[in-house]
Amino acid sequence: MIRATILDYGAGNLHSLSKALAMPGVSVHISTDPALAIDTDVLVLPGVGAFTGAASFLAPGRTTIRRALTDGLPCLAICLGMQLLFDASDEGPGAGLGFFPGRVRRVNAALVPHMGWNTLQDTTDPLAGDGALASVYYAHSFACPPADPGVTTAWTVVDSDRFPAIVRRQRTVGVQFHPEKSSAPGVRFIHRFLADAAIGRPAV
């Protein structure tokens, strides 16, 4: 049994994400303490809320969480969660975790927020690289261009704006889309992540 902990920023309904994480061998928990949330096998940063409020919420545990990710704690960061992995955001003041160097910026498209289904392009991520996750669901106004484009393992295009759909470093995966809202392929993506996270877990 592995423990997956969702860090609740205090906004949004986490029911669909909890349901998507549920699979045999996984125990799903919700924490409202950013410093204690790392006492887990898998950390999940959910995708609902505004950057400034969430960054303020994370502030007491910012160094602790970043160190845990650097030390190899598996983390799945979704939409806003992915943005919080970066240094800062044009959405508003506040410091992100800085795990990926770069600044979050507004999506450059005629219609913002970018909502609905869109395709993944140039996908090399092992969790989605077989084409099983070709189309995913988005609900966001901001995107995450990393300082190092090499961490990007899938892209999405809106109008002429091309931005990362998936970024990966060590055992941390950030996704700009919502896999929990991306039908059965999105849930399988989450389950693949959890299965990978279980590999190499120290024996009890």
Q: Can 91 be counted among the known catalytic residues?
A: no
173/76 Cα distance (integer angstroms): 5
Closest by CA to 35, choosing from 14, 10, 11, 66, is: 66
DSSP symbol at 91: T
Token pair listed for 27: 């125990």
143/146 Cα distance (integer angstroms): 10
Q: Write down the catalytic residue from 114, 140, 178, 191.
A: 178
Strand residue runs (E) in the chain: 2-7, 26-31, 42-45, 75-78, 86-89, 100-106, 114-119, 135-140, 142-143, 152-158, 161-169, 172-175
Q: Write down the catalytic residue from 75, 79, 114, 140.
A: 79
101/32 Cα distance (integer angstroms): 26
Q: Can 79 be counted among the known catalytic residues?
A: yes
Phi, psi angles (nearest 5°) of residue 201: -70, 135
Q: 172 near 132, Cβ under 8 Å?
A: no
Cα distances from 115 to residues 21, 50, 101, 196, in angstroms, run 23, 16, 26, 29
Q: Which residues are catalytic?
A: 79, 178, 180
